[in-house]
Amino acid sequence: MPIALNVNENTHPVPDEVASDILDDIAVALRDVNRYPDREFTTLRESFAEYLGHDLDASQIWAGNGSNEVLQHILQAFAGPGRTVFGFSPTYSMYPLLTQGTGARWVAGTRQPDYTITPDDAAAQVLEHDPDVILLCSPNNPTGTALGLDVVEAVYEAARGVVVVDEAYQEFAHRDTVSALALLEGRPRLAVSRTMSKAFAFAGARVGYLAADPAFIDALRLVRLPYHLSALTQAAAIAALRNSDTMLAMVDEIVEQRDRITATLEALGFQPHESGSNFVLFGGVADPQATWRALYDRGVLVRDVGIAGHLRVTAGTEAETTAFLDALASIDSAS
Ligand SMILES: *Cc1c(COP(=O)(O)O)cnc(C)c1O
């Protein structure tokens, strides 16, 4: 497919100068690849702590092969048979699958019609279901909705179990969206997960990470496989983080394309939802399957996330975004 805007990747490649810097470090790591890697990935944890700020140190950082593995570690440690995992639907489609993989039960809560959640409603739903693990996605996939810290605080207060804020798209969020990292201090059951797959354009390298209390991190050490992060992965991620300014230079441009998608969709008669991520969920599609197919026939791949009357599109490069908007305008599909 020439234009793939379906899985929220960063469609910009890693900048050339960074790619060669990463390659130099991988070459060095390769010289020692007969040995097992640093199983504590200490330098990488220090690099993430520095990148995240908020006075974090390496003892509060965990990492895995993608944030999917990090989430799996959390669920292996805190979920399992007889336990429940809760999230506000619609949310990331992997949560129920990762939950069921540990033998736990997924419980879907509800949102307002515009996909926001109020602190009172969130707390009431948590009290009702009393879950062992709560997965909050902010900004949320597939809706783009950011959660206020008041919601995270209310959920934490109401919960007996572990609360995870999945901030996979945080770098794309509006400037007034404060990271839940600001709430970590004094909340030992709270974790904030991130990924290098989106803003860092590193989806193929598989690197996700998390910040939490050191005791929370220790619980994850019990479930990971020994040496789960390869020496090559560690080397690549450390080098990428050393170049984070350049790696993240494309974020502003992607945000610009996202906002252009929103404005153009409105002009075309669709109802885009407010997005703090690198994608836009839009309603007002008369027949999502037909529109998905018509875009596909024009060389543009988007995502039918199974919400009636809606499709989701990732913000691409300026040219990709133009191709999507032109293709959509050529199909009369608004209801
Ligand atoms: C894309 C995405 C991730 C990232 O997964 P990786 O395994 O790090 O590639 C995590 N959470 C959400 C909500 C996502 O949309």
**Residue 168 CA to ligand 1 centre (angstroms):** 6
Could you read off the pLDDT of 295-331 as tens digits, one per residue? 999 999 999 999 999 999 999 999 999 999 999 999 9
pLDDT of residue 2: 87
> If pLDDT is split at 50, 70 and 90, which confidence band does 175 have?
confident
| Cα within 13 Å of Cα(296), Cβ side | 11
Query: Which atom of ligand 1 is the closest one to the Cα of 277?
Result: 15
Instruction: Examine the pLDDT at 171 and tell me if it is beyond 80.
Output: yes
pLDDT of residue 162: 98
pLDDT of residue 213: 98
pLDDT of residue 67: 98
> If pLDDT is split at 50, 70 and 90, which confidence band does 121 have?
very high
Could you read off the pLDDT of 122-141 as tens digits, one per residue? 999 999 999 999 999 999 99
Could you read off the pLDDT of 75-102 as tens digits, one per residue? 999 999 999 999 999 999 999 999 999 9
**Residue 267 CA to ligand 1 centre (angstroms):** 30
Give the pLDDT mean for 63-73. 98
Instruction: Examine the pLDDT at 334 and tell me if it is beyond 80.
Output: no
pLDDT of residue 176: 86
pLDDT of residue 18: 95
Regarding the beta carbon of 87 and ligand 1, being less than 6 Å apart is answered no
* Ligand 1 site-directed mutation target among 11, 62, 67, most atoms within 8 Å of CB: 67
Nearest protein CA to atom 3 of ligand 1, as residue: 168
Contact between 11 and 314 under an 8 Å Cβ cutoff? The reply is yes
Regarding the beta carbon of 278 and ligand 1, being less than 6 Å apart is answered no
Percent of the chain with pLDDT over 70: 100
> If pLDDT is split at 50, 70 and 90, which confidence band does 228 have?
very high
Could you read off the pLDDT of 9-29 as tens digits, one per residue? 999 999 999 999 999 999 999
Regarding the beta carbon of 197 and ligand 1, being less than 6 Å apart is answered yes
Regarding the beta carbon of 210 and ligand 1, being less than 6 Å apart is answered no
pLDDT of residue 319: 96
Regarding the beta carbon of 66 and ligand 1, being less than 6 Å apart is answered yes
Instruction: Please tell me the pTM assigned to this model.
Output: 0.97
Q: 289, 300, 304: which is closest to 325 by C-alpha?
A: 300
Give the residue carrying structure tokens 């092969």: 65
Regarding the beta carbon of 47 and ligand 1, being less than 6 Å apart is answered no
Mean of the per-residue pLDDT values for the chain?
96
**Residue 126 CA to ligand 1 centre (angstroms):** 24
Query: Which atom of ligand 1 is the closest one to the Cα of 137?
Result: 13
| CA dist., res. 133 & res. 136, Å (int) | 10
pLDDT of residue 198: 96
pLDDT of residue 265: 97
Could you read off the pLDDT of 253-296 as tens digits, one per residue? 999 999 999 999 999 999 999 999 999 999 999 999 999 999 99
Buried b (16+ CB within 10 A) or exposed e, 164-201: bbbbbbbbbbeeebebbbebbeebebbbbbbbbbbbbb
Nearest protein CA to atom 11 of ligand 1, as residue: 168
Nearest protein CA to atom 14 of ligand 1, as residue: 168
Could you read off the pLDDT of 43-56 as tens digits, one per residue? 999 999 999 999 99
Regarding the beta carbon of 91 and ligand 1, being less than 6 Å apart is answered no
Query: Which atom of ligand 1 is the closest one to the Cα of 207?
Result: 8
What domains can be seen in the chain, in order of their start residue?
3-12+248-329 (3.90.1150.10), 16-244 (3.40.640.10)
Fill in the DSSP letter of residue 245. Answer: H
